[in-house]
Amino acid sequence: MSVILSAQHVSKSFSVRQNEDVLALRDVNLDVYEHEFLCLLGASGCGKSTLLNMFAGFTPPSQGDILLRSIPITGIDPRCGMVFQSYALFPWQTVRKNVEFGPRMKGLPANECRSVAGRFIEMVGLHGFADHYPAELSGGMQQRVTLARSLAADPEVLLMDEPFAALDAMTRHVLQEELSRIQRESLKTVVLVTHNIDEALITADRIVVMSPHPGQIKAVITNDLERPRNIDVQLSPAWGELKKEIWSLIAGDVSLHAS
Amino acid sequence: MTSARDIASNLVAPPDRTKRKHGSSLRDRPIILLNILGVFAFCITWALVTERGWVSPLFLPSPFKVASEAAGVAATHELWWAIAASSLRVFLGFALAAAVAIPLGVLMGSWWPAKALLDPLISLLRPLPSITWIPLTMLWLGIGEAQKVAIVFMGSWIYVLLYTVESTKRVDPILIKAARNLGASEFAVMREVVLPGALPGILSGLKVSLAIAWSCVLSAEMVAAQSGLGALIWSAKDWGNLALVLVGMVSISATVLVADLLANRLERALLPWERHRRQN
């Protein structure tokens, strides 16, 4: 398997006040392989979103390098497509226009944009809603549109920042399983940030467990649970063991943070 | 954002957009009745105090006198020409103001050096009422159409500009980030995100300055003009024809109301994505 995206000795600090810096990430090394589904998992303050934002080129590392196919990322790069937690849909565009945005920016002809958009709207199960505006859809449906929009732009890596955090538990569960299916169909490389162990267990091939203050990688766990990870898998002893293992890595950070 | 509804709406038909309108019409009926009653009571009082001679017709003509005067100037087309003349001036001055202020406002709202450069000038221009421009514009442009249009322009462009700058700055930065992440160039971000994102605010600004534009044209016409509603009122005053003054005033109200109505129509047509919010 070839490495597509990597962080090499990456540190990131933010200045809070004058002469006062907070270290968000310290010396993080991570390789993301092509076609894999990778989860960054950890308690608040572990720097998982910061790392994701650096992968997207939204913010540069203070030290170290972010490499996409061995070449440093220097700015916002459409090859690393971001799925935002707050959806970030264009409210003045219909679902179809939103999903067409990426292809249109690439200069594809109108009929091709339309057919690409149609395919991804279908894939996320929003057939029949193409001419609706985002405000007319529920949160779960809006998140599907965002996903379709990112997929239609055909990035090399799909970055997802707690995409389901704002949704209710049941919708979240449905979307997690669908995201798993879509990733296996499209073979897209996905890096997903979450603080939800079940979400990581349902979706990920590998789970990167991070710890806070300063953010660093604590362990990288391979998730071999059989797919699809339906309710039977979720009630199996193997699931329980893996969850327990991950929880034991994180539990200390959570109580430390809460106190 | 209830869970059951989210799940359900993933499966079932699109939300019903007409539901709310229906429910509110019953409650609206007494409001409309009271609206009519208020106007009616006002007219009755007016008729009473003037017809009974409690107020001299030298100070306030009766509504019947005003109505017959209105019928007269409507029949000779004098009224229609006055309305057309004022409307044209407003339209030209206003269009010019929008053409200058909207691009400039988007530039100032999205590129800080432009804002820093122009902010002090705008602070100096803003407190000046448009009538203070009458002497200078008369000197530069005479007392013809160009001068009236210039007064409308001077009175309204700053408001369009301020609303445009403010709404451009308030476009959600995450949308700009998302657009860049989807491969949009700087120019595409302007066209696809900043401009439509600022459009509701820009249109609000246009509506506010439309009313201001009307007051500008009337004051300009009262000072020096051969035509228009302002001139009509002013010359009627000189002839001591108070009924015609009132006809002019009512015509102004009616014209501005119609202009406002058209502006609202246009706004709805330009912002189809806001129809959902309007209904809630």
Q: Are B180 and B189 in contact (CB under 8 A)?
A: yes
Residue in B closest to A56 by C-alpha: B181
Mean pLDDT value of segment B81-101: 93
Question: Which residues from B are below 8 Å from A82, CB to CB?
Answer: 177-178, 181
pLDDT for the residue A32: 92
CB contact, 8 Å: B190 with chain A? no
The Cα-based distances of B149 to B89, B92, B230, B233, B259 in angstroms read: 5, 6, 14, 19, 17
A56/B199 CB distance under 8 A: no
**What percent of chain A is modeled with pLDDT above 90?**
36
Within chain A, which residues score under 50 in pLDDT?
A: 259
- Long-range CB pairs of B14-23, under 8 A, 24+ apart, other chains included: B14/A128, B14/A129, B14/A132, B14/A136, B15/A136, B17/A136, B17/B275, B17/B276, B17/B279, B20/B279, B20/B280, B21/B279
**B257, pLDDT greater than 80:** yes
pLDDT for the residue B13: 40
Instruction: Please list the residues that pair with B56 across neighbouring strands.
Output: none
pLDDT for the residue B167: 93
Question: Which residues from A are below 8 Å from B181, CB to CB?
Answer: 56, 76, 78, 80-82
A168/B180 CB distance under 8 A: no
pLDDT for the residue B2: 39
CB contact, 8 Å: A154 with chain B? no
Question: Which residues from A are below 8 Å from B185, CB to CB?
Answer: 105
Mean pLDDT value of segment B45-55: 89
B199/A92 CB distance under 8 A: yes
**B14, pLDDT greater than 50:** no
Which residue in B174, B190, B16 sits closest to A87, CA to CA?
A: B174
Question: Which residues from B are below 8 Å from A132, CB to CB?
Answer: 14
| Residue of B20, B177, B181 to mutate when probing chain A, most A C-beta within 10 A | B181
Question: Which residues from B are below 8 Å from A84, CB to CB?
Answer: 174, 178
Question: Which residues from B are below 8 Å from A91, CB to CB?
Answer: 273
Which residue in B244, B224, B67, B205 sits closest to B145, CA to CA?
A: B224
A81/B182 CB distance under 8 A: yes
CB contact, 8 Å: A156 with chain B? no
Size of interface A-B (CB pairs under 8 A): 97
pLDDT for the residue B9: 42
Arch. (CATH architecture) of A1-79+191-251: 3-Layer(aba) Sandwich (3.40)
Mean pLDDT value of segment B215-243: 88
Confidence tier at B208 by pLDDT (50, 70, 90): confident
Which residue in A204, A224, A211, A225 sits closest to A33, CA to CA?
A: A204
CB contact, 8 Å: A106 with chain B? yes
Confidence tier at B11 by pLDDT (50, 70, 90): very low
| Residue of A80, A92, A116, A173 to mutate when probing chain B, most B C-beta within 10 A | A92
Q: Which of residues 62-81 of A touch B (CB under 8 A)?
A: 76, 78, 80-81
| Residue of B182, B195, B267 to mutate when probing chain A, most A C-beta within 10 A | B182
Question: Which residues from B are below 8 Å from A80, CB to CB?
Answer: 181
pLDDT for the residue B17: 43
The span from the CA of A12 to the CA of A47, in Å, is 9
B177/A81 CB distance under 8 A: no
DSSP A49-91: HHHHHHHHTSS--SEEEEEETTEE--S--TTEEEE-TT----T
The pLDDT mean for chain B works out to 85
Question: Which residues from A are below 8 Å from B10, CB to CB?
Answer: 125, 138, 140-141, 171, 174
Is there a cis peptide before residue A72, judged by omega within 30 degrees of 0? no
pLDDT for the residue B1: 37
The single-letter DSSP state of residue B14 is P
Q: Which residue has 């009271």 as its token pair?
A: B34
B181/A82 CB distance under 8 A: yes
Tens of pLDDT, residue by residue over B20-42, are 444 456 667 888 899 999 999 99
The least confident of A42-46, A107-111, B2-6, B114-118 is B2-6
Tens of pLDDT, residue by residue over A87-110, are 899 999 999 999 999 999 988 999
Residue in A closest to B271 by C-alpha: A92
pLDDT for the residue B154: 92
Q: Which of residues 77-106 of B touch A (CB under 8 A)?
A: none
Mean pLDDT value of segment B212-226: 87
CB contact, 8 Å: B180 with chain A? yes
Helix, strand, coil fractions of chain B, as percent rounded to 5: 85, 0, 15
Question: Which residues from B are below 8 Å from A129, CB to CB?
Answer: 14
CB contact, 8 Å: B177 with chain A? yes
pLDDT for the residue A124: 82
B196/A92 CB distance under 8 A: yes
Distance from CA of B96 to the nearest CA of A (A): 26
